[in-house]
Structure 1
Amino acid sequence: MKKSKTEIKNASRTNDIAWWRLKLNEGITEEEIKQACSRYHQALTKLNNILNSNDWLVGQQISIVDISWYTVLQRLVAIGFPLAEYKEVNHYYKKLSTRPAFLLDSKHRESKLIARVFSIFRFINKLKRNRISDYFK
């Protein structure tokens, strides 16, 4: 019997919730952190190569792809990711950060709350002597 789209979507949602509950209760393993950092390194290396000869990731002007990557980069920077090691990506992130829409967003209450949460995250990890940059050595 073929499953409907709703059944597939609900099963996927159930799996996602189970994963998040597991991580809440058991935490993220050292190996999972290393694998995630490796995947980000590969992705950022590709982005760096693209941005070496392009102003934007797709086309000649900012697009939804750039906006999506901005939010990813913003969160990586917030947790202390060594973005400066990717020269072109770092320049791209700084360029996006100065655009009026992104500056306006940073003043919203939700953005400030997220920044505080990440600040606390970095502080706790600093006390534990954990740094995400350690996974790139």
Structure 2
Amino acid sequence: DTQLLLWDLEMDEIVVPLRRPPGGSPTLSTGSQSSHWDNVTPVGTLQPAPSMRDIPKISPVVAHRVHTEPLSGLIFTTESVLTVCREGHIKVWIRPHIAEAQGASNPETALSTSLKDKPLLSSKVSNSSGYKQ
């Protein structure tokens, strides 16, 4: 996949419903009847995976094709988001609030000024526009 999808969620928006597994208490199964496993007590309660219909669908804030090749790496920093594709191309995406704070109308300008003294990991670097929607 060549797309980067980003969501902006607050911790109080994330709700994980607890469900009791059918049949009561959790069980352990093992291929051997070792006496070691006879004394093992599970910690906590095992929760079954929820069904797909129970999972809320949340649309991303940003959906953008960032490379022509599938992504192989993704790094978030306070100033930017770095994406790396399988071919080794690195793109640095300046965060919108950083570009605005620097007074840059063009995110590529903000990118070059904010990272001019910082070493890059690869010579295959492409400047990319900000990821504002």
* TM-score relative to the length of structure 1: 0.21
* TM-score relative to the length of structure 2: 0.21
Question: Larger strand proportion, structure 1 or 2?
Answer: 2
Question: Larger helix proportion, structure 1 or 2?
Answer: 1
